[in-house]
Chain A
Amino acid sequence: MQFEARNLSCRRGDLRVLSGLSFTLGPGQALILRGPNGSGKTTLLRTLAGLARPETGEVIAPEDSIAYAGHADGLKGQLTVAENLTFWADVFGHAGIDNAMDTFDLRPLATRQAQNLSAGQKRRLGLARMLVTARAIWLMDEPTVSLDRANVKVFAGMIEAHLAAGGIAVLATHIDLGLPAAAEFDIAPYRARPDDTGNPFLDEAFA
């Protein structure tokens, strides 16, 4: 299995933000996206996930292999922790939520409604969701926001286990997770130049 971005350009609104970005990841490899705010990390992740269409280039991945986690956890406040996880397990066609519950120590919270969780607890539940997808390629946007130090370690452990099992991950985060298998990937060099907008309305020959 291989996950590849080939000569990607991504667009945000009227302008191109990233241009000519490529990488290849094999089993057990991970990328940590680096770049200042607004540099296009979220746009890139959404493009890799297939939510946005790349302006040029392509994303190559085996079919149905990508799991995406954005800023929002996609939790339903009226459902309990266990129900939230079970729903996603059903959607992805995998019944077991035990492993996910154990990893982030969610058992004591199992019957609590998600709306009564703290921000950190919600995030743990959101991250546990990745485990029930049983997908190989994880794309995660700022996964450690509102996690305490202990749970950042748990999260790092989860990623490590995922990679050890032959998974792939692309993470946008500012925290050092201490993952030996993860390479840092600075997207700043791929930022689109002001004259490379891909926007026909910015044609210099415009009358």
Chain B
Amino acid sequence: MIALLRRDLALALRSGGGFGLSLAFFLIVVMFVPFGVGPDSTTLALIAPGILWIGALLACLLSLDRIFQLDYEDGSLDLLATSPLPLEGIVVMKALAHWLTTGLPLTLAAPLLGFLLNLPDAAYLWVFLSLLVGTPALSCLGAFGAAITVGLKRGGLLLSLLVLPLYIPTLIFGAQSVVLVVRGLDNQTAFVILAAISLFTFALVPFAAARALKVNLK
């Protein structure tokens, strides 16, 4: 299974755009917010945690359809499904590769982009931590959506429609982990639940995704 992860990372590196595109998108979204709501730094500081979370979430969404689509089209998915690797394991590895190439870079970039939005000092650490803990759930749910839509010719838009509602709990607890700190409140509950959602997602959703892949391969 490590071979699969290694291959996917190598492919993401060589085809270019893997890391870069979603980061660029994230930057543009964050940059557009002041254009939309005005440059007033107090307002920006107030909404910065939410913007960073929503921006990262949308940037994460961009590359979801590539999780399985390419492998489906070139026949690799058929071959992987008949290999000794369990489909659930394939899903986890694919989600992990997606996280390493999008979720992790976005997490690392978010505190930097926080400067642009006048993010309060206390929030930097929590923006980083909440994204670090929350984005794996986004990748895993994304892999589920990608598994459902892999057989469709133009599944990209539909994929977003299916996956976004599933992101709600992660977004709420992720953003609250930061917002509560900014308001000087205790964020422990929110952060712990965020971590629980991530673990729960990785424990259960791969089974559903594997089932969906099996349906799409028949």
Q: Which residues of A contact B (CB under 8 A)?
A: 46, 49-53, 64, 66-76, 78-79, 83, 87-88, 90-93, 129, 133
Contact partner of A91 among B15, B78, B80, CB < 8 A? B80
Contact indicator A78/B218 (Cβ below 8 Å): no
Contact A68 B15 (CB under 8 A): no
Are B84 and A92 in contact (CB-based, < 8 A)? yes
- A91 pairs with B82, CB closer than 8 A: no
B82–A67 touching, CB < 8 Å: yes
Bound Cα distance from A133 to B79, whole angstroms: 10
Count of residues in B whose CB is under 8 Å from the partner chain: 24
The residue on A at minimum CB distance from B16 is A78
> Judging by beta carbons under 8 Å apart, are A91 and B11 in contact?
no
Give the distance to chain A from B67, nearest Cβ to Cβ, in Å. Answer: 15
Residue of B76, B77, B80, B82 ringed by the most chain A CB atoms within 10 A: B82
B85 on the interface (CB 8 Å rule)? yes
Interface set, chain B 1-53, CB cutoff 8 A to A: 2-4, 7, 10-11, 14-15
Any chain A CB within 8 A of the CB of B217?
A: yes
Once the chains bind, are A79 and B79 in contact (CB under 8 Å)? no
Q: A74-B78, A76-B74, A92-B83 are known contacts; what are 15 more A-B pairs with Cβ within 8 Å?
A: A46-B218, A49-B82, A51-B217, A67-B82, A70-B75, A70-B79, A71-B75, A72-B73, A72-B74, A73-B75, A74-B75, A87-B4, A88-B83, A91-B3, A91-B85
Given the known interface contacts A51-B217, A79-B7, A87-B3, the answer about A74 and B74 at a Cβ–Cβ threshold of 8 Å is yes
A49 to B79, CA, bound (A): 10
Q: Does B54 count as interface, using CB distance less than 8 angstroms?
A: no
Q: Which B residues are in CB contact (< 8 Å) with A49?
A: 78, 82
Task: Pick the 3 closest A-B CB pairs, nearest first.
Answer: A72-B75, A90-B3, A74-B76
Contact with A along B196-218 (1 / 0, CB 8 A): 00000000000000000000011
Instruction: Verify B74–A91 contact, CB threshold 8 A.
Output: no
Query: Which residues of B lie under 8 Å from residue A79 when comparing CB positions?
Result: 7, 10-11, 14
Q: Are A76 and B76 in contact (CB under 8 A)?
A: yes
Does chain A have a CB within 8 A of B81?
yes
CB-CB under 8 A from B4, the residues of chain A are 87, 91
- Chain B hits for A93, CB < 8 A: 84
Say yes or no: B218 contacts A52, CB within 8 Å: yes
Which residues of chain B come closer than 8 Å to A66, judged between CB atoms?
Answer: 82
CA gap between A133 and B2 in the complex, in Å: 17
With a CB–CB cut-off of 8 A, which chain A residues contact B84? 64, 91-93
Given known contacts A46-B218, A91-B85, A92-B84, A72 and B78 CB-to-CB distance under 8 angstroms? yes
Residue pairs across A and B with Cβ atoms less than 8 A apart, 6 shown, are A69-B79, A74-B71, A76-B11, A83-B7, A91-B4, A91-B80
